[in-house]
Amino acid sequence: MQSSSPHTTVLLDEAVNLLVNDAAGSYVDATFGRGGHARLILSRLSAAGRLLAFDKDPEAVKAAGQISDPRFSIRHQGFAHLEDLAPASVEGVLMDLGVSSPQIDSPERGFSFRFEGPLDMRMDPTRGQSVADWLALADVDQIAEVIREYGEERFALPIAKAIVARRQERGPVSTTTELADLVAGAVKTREPGQNPSTRTFQALRIYINAELEELQQALDASLKVLRSGGRLVVISFHSLEDRIVKQFLTHHSRQVFDRRAPFAEPRPMAFSAVQRLRPTETEIKANPRARSAILRVAERTSA
């Protein structure tokens, strides 16, 4: 097994500084990962504070077992399950949307084109369909649509045709390196320094885990669970997810007038004090995976 690189939490201090504004409050780490944010949040809480974490990954839940703190608990669920919490019950919600280094660097998880491994990519390998299973059944148009929509890949159709042709000739694609080789043969040009498979692997991972749909559900749930004055902090790593976060915050950071009732009071905005941060050059130099991160934070105005 390939050894995993230590996971370096991106925008650690910035995120927690913006999140925690009441040491006795209740908080949610919606994407525990390997617990970098969670441990710092706990260090900022008083004895009365509480932290609930969510994560789909059984390995993340196992790592959370190393935290022996009565103020902390974790659920083996995706963060769309925020909606299960009581209304106006937490002071802050943190969502770090990045894939953790142990996930990327574990060949058996199938997230990376850099290592030979089964073509899996499920955040929770105990549930659902793997990428290999889906590619064994999907047609050219379905595969091209996913790669185009979730990877913003202009060579989506040639890649899809190559995958299906390979399936018809020699059987389904089953490993990461097989897929990477097929993509490399179909992609004619690529930005300097970017592997031809980057966009395709991103697209398939997002699709098989329904990441964008779950993100939207979790954002909607944050409206319900945050108390007035509570903070929503989201760290995204690619344009598709950041666009969803930006549009959500923009929509809920303005008053809404009902055109059918022009003299009625407008619906008050749900969020205010929206901020946007990027990693410093120092952090990017120390951790190149931070280079695409964008942190957005907003404060709940009414609940």
The DSSP result for the chain, as a single string, is: -PPPPPP--TTHHHHHHHH-S-TTSEEEES--TTSHHHHHHHHH--TT-EEEEE-S-HHHHHHHTT---TTEEEESS-GGGGGGSPTT-EEEEEEE-SPPHHHHH-GGG---TTS--BS---SSTTSS--HHHHHTT--HHHHHHHHHHHH--TTHHHHHHHHHHHHHHH----BHHHHHHHHHHH-----TT--TTHHHHHHHHHHHTTHHHHHHHHHHHHHHHEEEEEEEEEEE-SHHHHHHHHHHHHHTTS-B--TTSTTSPPBPPSEEEEEEE---HHHHHH-GGGTT-EEEEEEE---
pLDDT of residue 191: 76
Write down the architecture of domain 12-101+211-300 according to CATH.
3-Layer(aba) Sandwich (3.40)
pLDDT of residue 164: 98
Give domain limits for the chain. 12-101+211-300, 124-208
pLDDT of residue 3: 42
Which CATH number is 124-208's, of 1.10.3720.10, 1.10.150.170, 1.10.12.10, 3.40.50.10800? 1.10.150.170
pLDDT of residue 101: 78
pLDDT of residue 206: 97
pLDDT of residue 4: 46
Residuewise pLDDT in 10s, the chain (303 residues): 444 455 678 999 999 999 999 999 999 999 999 999 999 999 999 999 999 999 999 999 999 999 999 999 999 999 999 999 999 999 999 999 988 878 888 889 988 988 899 999 999 999 999 999 999 999 999 999 999 999 999 999 999 999 999 999 999 999 999 999 999 999 987 777 788 999 999 999 999 999 999 999 999 999 999 999 999 999 999 999 999 999 999 989 876 555 665 655 656 678 987 799 999 999 999 988 889 999 999 999 975
Fold: same for 12-101+211-300 and 124-208? no
